[in-house]
Amino acid sequence: MINLSGDFFAFAYLVATVLFVFGLKGLSHPKTALRGNLLSMVGMGVAIVVTLLRPDVKNYGVIFAGLLAGAAIGVPVATRIQMTAMPQLVAALHSFVGLAAVLVAGGTYLIHASSGHVDAVLLFELVVGSAIGAITFTGSLVAFAKLQGLVGSAPLVFKGQHALNAGLFGAIALLSAIFIASPNAPLFWAVTAIALALGFLVVLPIGGSDMPVVVSMLNSYSGWAASATGFTLNNPLLIATGALVGSSGAILSYIMCKAMNRSLVNVILGGFGTTAEQSAAETTTKPCKTASTEDAAFAFENATNIIVVPGYGMAVAQAQHAVKELYEQLHHKGVEVKFAIHPVAGRMPGHMNVLLAESEIPYDDVLELDEVNPEFARADAVLVIGANDVVNPAARSNKSSPLYGMPILDAYKSKMVYVIKRSMNPGYSGVENELFYHDNCSLIFGDAKKVCEGIVNSLKAE
Ligand code: NAP
């Protein structure tokens, strides 16, 4: 066995950490995202190989069996997963991190407790690591179930929910303090059990439209849980990596909260101030106008400027290449086309940016919410492709809507709005869209890809 010094491991871990930092930086723009991913992968490769060389790693058989079993499940899942199902996969992966933190903390406590006195700092690390891990584990399971459609996306609310959550949070803090002063196994597991319950309770009341914030919050929790595990295992790389995930997840949650006009404190306590009345979706039987692909093509051809609002339906239909063709056809005919991106359009942060980048739509024509909103009133027409919640004016006007307060793309302010969707079904939040009943709005029913191709064919024919 090679005899490597502590300095070697410290240096190698530093290299891996720097690669992770540059990897994260790369992910901040689509142009550098691929390089960012590659750097992070190299960093993880360095981290794994170097950790395997540590003298305290003895049982290679168990480690490789675990790696093989994980790869046997992970590789097929990762290669087959649909882009639209990524959020639930991410939520499931967060739950594993949380569970691992609980198991490592529990196991470490049992080993140390059986050998006598346990240091107070270690006790603190163990109980905090287990509590964060437990909240992450059950919270992520609920997020997975909601995103996968196993549980309805409507908020599950009851009276006194916030007080209960705050009470459980207080109980975790109090029992943890008692555990550190006078450690015993039942108290450790009691804290873990309360944290497991709290994880369920903080995510259950979150409505569908607010799920992105929760997923990024759980991402942050999973980072802190990993960091706590790093302290327990005395592994500086795990501490640093966990802190990177924890803080970048927290920053993302803050950005998402600002974008969604929600309070970060309410996210942490669960529920966003949702009330029982707000959780009920209303339905209406009002008439709405419909249009054909030819009608839309005619309107677009005679327009000077158009704004396209892509949403989850574009991802489902994989319509991004048809959308690019439509963009090129309209450009060819002298029509200015801009894309409006809502921060939570689709099912994961940056979902629409990724799809538009994949079809090579120029970044300069892709505008964020604040940039594009003043443009809607000046636009001759808006084409909404499989978006729903992100253009629902109820978020502005209807105080009883679960969407109320969420910033939206002001598509309804345009002269004409064409919406492509397959049916009158609501969007992810389960809330009916008032826009569809506005006089300036027409629905084109059908699959987003086929409808876009239909509009392109009509444009070519004219
Ligand atoms: P949305 O509100 O979920 O609406 C998607 C629309 O696409 C639906 O109206 C659906 O109507 C239509 N659609 C689905 N498949 C289609 C197809 N093949 N062709 C044409 N239309 C199709 O989507 P959104 O406006 O993008 O809003 C995203 C929602 O997801 C928000 O509530 C957001 O908070 C939530 N969310 C976002 C994230 C994130 O990180 N971005 C994560 C989790 C949840 P039909 O069924 O009638 O076709």
**Atom 13 in ligand 1: residue holding the nearest Cα:** 313
Average pLDDT over residues 106-131: 89
Of 85, 102, 104, residue with least CA distance to 138: 102
Give the C-alpha separation, 359 to 152, whole Å. Answer: 33
**Atom 40 in ligand 1: residue holding the nearest Cα:** 348
* CB of 430 shorter than 6 A to ligand 1: no
Give the C-alpha separation, 376 to 415, whole Å. Answer: 9
C-alpha 228 to ligand 1 mean position (Å): 36
Between residues 385 and 226, which one has the greater pLDDT?
385
Listing from the earlier edge strand, what are the strands of the sheet with 441-445? 289-290, 441-445, 417-421, 381-385, 305-310, 336-341, 366-368
Give the C-alpha separation, 436 to 391, whole Å. Answer: 10
**For residue range 157-188, what is the model confidence (pLDDT) as tens digits?**
778 888 898 899 999 999 999 999 999 999 99
pLDDT for the residue 274: 52
* CB of 142 shorter than 6 A to ligand 1: no
Average pLDDT over residues 415-423: 96
Give the C-alpha separation, 440 to 297, whole Å. Answer: 16
pLDDT for the residue 2: 57
pLDDT for the residue 233: 83
Give the C-alpha separation, 341 to 372, whole Å. Answer: 8
Q: How many CB atoms lie within 10 A of CB 76?
A: 10
Of the pLDDT bands very low, low, confident and very high (cuts 50, 70, 90), residue 31 is confident
Q: Which two tokens stand for residue 364?
A: 């300069």
- If DSSP codes are grouped into helix, strand and coil, which group holds residue 189? helix
**Residue 212: exposure state from Cβ atoms within 10 A (0-12, 13-18, ≥19):** buried
Between residues 331 and 29, which one has the greater pLDDT?
331
What single-letter amino acid sits at 254? Y
pLDDT for the residue 375: 96
Average pLDDT over residues 319-325: 96
Of the pLDDT bands very low, low, confident and very high (cuts 50, 70, 90), residue 404 is confident
C-alpha 388 to ligand 1 mean position (Å): 6
* Claim: this prediction has a pTM higher than 0.85: no
Q: How many CB atoms lie within 10 A of CB 167?
A: 13
Name the percent of the chain lying above pLDDT 90: 58
**For residue range 56-95, what is the model confidence (pLDDT) as tens digits?**
888 899 999 999 999 999 999 989 988 778 888 989 999 9
CA atoms within 13 A on the CB side of 304: 6
**For residue range 265-290, what is the model confidence (pLDDT) as tens digits?**
776 666 554 554 444 445 556 788 99
* CB of 26 shorter than 6 A to ligand 1: no
